[in-house]
Chains A and B, each alone.
Chain A
Amino acid sequence: MIELDVLLVLAYVLVFPGFIFLFGYSFFAEWFDRKMYAKMQNRVGPPLIQPFADFLKLLTKEDITPEKVEKVPYSLLPILAFAAIATAFVYIPVFVTTTPIGFQGDLLLVLYMLTLPTILLFLVGWYSRNIFATIGAYRAVSQLFVYEVPLFIVALGPALWAGSWSISDIVSFQQSHYCLFLIQPLGFIVAIMCLQAKLERIPFDIPEAETEIVGGPLVEYSGRKLAMFRISTDMLMVVGSALIVVLYLGGPSVGFSLESLHIVVQAIIGFLAFLVKTVFIIFLLSFIRAAFARLRIDQMTNFGWKWLASLAFIQIFIIIGLRVVMA
């Protein structure tokens, strides 16, 4: 672990590559996603500044709290969702293989942090006291059980192979050996599908299906609180993609050793590699979004348990088998 003093750690968490960077990159990710989606649909798509403009516009809008809701959780939930995702991001190595605050087992912490937003979304729907929000909340939480199990199982794969629960160790392993996508393509595919479900995007946008239940759990939200949730979803897309990148595509590593280069050059190359890889994952997510129709909740449950869960188990059995054979 790199020894850094308190100020540097603070800068890492708050400015780069922590909070501020995540904020900016989330806007870029949303723009890229929307632009790709538009291109695939034969549309022009929004300009680069659009997500930021949307965010600012929402901030200036009237913030309405319905009369019958409980005020404290109603206002607190967006902030919690935002905080959980921002926290998860600082454990993901962005330009070198390690993070200053990483520890043995941070992979689990990140996974749990990324589960929180969905649970908070359920609470949001529950506290909104709106029929559409309630149905959306039920759907969000039923969907949660379907995709979360396969996601946790496949996230176990890289940890098993690298022999560590630390994200930094998994990245270092890929830096010195090969990227784990080659060993675990099934796990990669399952992880992508689960991320799509976690982000509640087509074909898994069941909890917020516009034509069915208007806006799902967020239907009563407006103004600042809605803006908070919107940016949280964008951040979740970035952090989720980043997690898949570090687990399967080697994070900031580029496949060959950069030891001979200056440390700053190493960091820049690593950072660029990270950006390219996350953008690639976001592109895959946009592609899935453009290519399918929305599933029903029963079809989603079927698909999740029949395909995602069994593929995830097959992947794990393959890994264990290979480990035994190699040992």
Chain B
Amino acid sequence: MSEMTIPIGPQHPALKEPVGFKITVEGERIKSLDLDISYNHRGIEKAVEQRDFNQSMYVIERICGICSHSHATNFSKGIEELMKVDAPRRAQYIRLIVGELERIHSHYLWLGVAGHEIGFDTLFMYTWRDRELVQDILELISGNRVNYAMNRIGGVRRDLDEKVISYTLKKLEILAERTKFYIQLATTEETVIARLGKVGRLTHEKAKSLGSVGPTARGSGVNLDVRHDDPYLVYDEVPFKVVTADNCDVLGRTIVRAGEIVQSIEMTKWALENLPPGEIRKATPRLAPSGEVVSLYEAPRGELIHYIKGNNSDKADRFAVRTPTLANWPSVVEALQGQNIADIPIVVAAIDPCMSCTSRMTFLDTDQMNSWVWTWNELREYGIKWYRENKGISWGD
């Protein structure tokens, strides 16, 4: 059969968000692959730079719909570091609890999506049903199912009372039982293993050199976890294991995620039982001093980086986000080489991509090896000029 070029995306049933692949295949085998990301640039960084820290929290929470708490915690943690304020210990525990519950819900969601991508809709229905347990817990804790809005600068917004704790512990027991079932299913069911094992190979060395993070790297045996390597919040107090797998394929990434659910359940239980008493937030100064801070967080998808530059005002002078999905894209291109067309959905899904969280813009001069970003005014002027020249629309002066 001759070579064909298949467009997957920007709109395709396998993709929940826009991303473009141009795939050249020979028969069912992939010969080459062209990746086109960033269809969803939302100007989040600039929007944050326009607003003061308290207002920014609302924007930042909406960078991602699944790991909203990760972004909010990472940002408030960074600002607190810049202001040289420590959030109370109880607040840090509550942040950790919500963060781990979020990881459980994110990994459950992923398991369902993975099931759907390999045509196993029953797994999808089951996991999403059980995911409701953790969604209910999160709703009870924060009042919300998606954007929990638990964080504020200097602590958290809501406290946990006895009723919430006992409810959570009870539901986590059921969840732990269900997780055992899914681990057994993912590691023993014949068709699942056939579709996940030896698919999307990413060797240990490649995972390292391409800078993969999170479960993608850990599924290739790279022991990389911000919670362990550079503990933030109270992760140095809570006992847990970094889950890795040596399969170096999609099955490895699945095993890592399933193992992390178990770890997260244990961590949440431990944190709930050892919740220290005390206040849940501190008063913080309105202004952040001049200075820079790089804040790291182990989001469900991997290492999340926020860069914040303060300039003695109540706004960030520069705010930049590097989401784990961006770090994992090169590994997808590597993992898809020589694979089957049928493996594209699951290999792409295996990094748990979050397209809209990823889109950033920067200018790069590869000859001079320097990069720069536009200021708001430059961006605005460019937009006005582009519309005037290309669309004949004048926005006035």
Contact = CB atoms under 8 A, between A and B. Distances in A.
B22 to A, nearest CB: 12
Residue among A41, A214, A292, A295 with the most chain B CB within 10 A? A292
A291 interface: yes
A323 interface: no
B115 to A, nearest CB: 7
Given A43-B125, A296-B342, A296-B343, A211 B116 contact: yes
Contact of B345 (A205, A211, A290): A211
B118 A294 contact: yes
Interface string B118-137: 11111101100100000000
Given A135-B6, A211-B13, A41 B343 contact: no
B191 A295 contact: yes
Contact of B1 (A138, A211, A292): A138
A299 B118 CA distance: 13
Interface string B98-129: 00000000000000000111111111011001
Given A42-B125, A210-B13, A292 B342 contact: no
Contacts of B191: 203, 292-295
B344 interface: yes
B6 A294 contact: no
Interface in A259-303: 290-299
A74 to B, nearest CB: 21
A293 B129 CA distance: 18
B126 A209 contact: no
Contact of B195 (A134, A213, A295, A297): A295
Nearest to B348: A211
Contacts of B118: 293-294
Contact of B120 (A131, A213, A292, A298): A292
Interface in A55-103: none
Nearest to A202: B119
A296 B340 contact: yes
A298 B194 contact: no
B169 interface: no
Nearest to A203: B191
30 contacts: A40-B122, A41-B121, A41-B125, A41-B126, A42-B126, A42-B129, A131-B5, A135-B4, A135-B341, A202-B120, A202-B121, A203-B191, A209-B119, A210-B13, A210-B14, A211-B14, A211-B116, A211-B117, A211-B345, A213-B341, A214-B13, A292-B120, A293-B119, A294-B191, A295-B195, A297-B28, A297-B340, A297-B342, A298-B340, A299-B194
Interface of B: 1, 4-7, 12-14, 28, 115-123, 125-126, 129, 189, 191-192, 194-195, 340-345
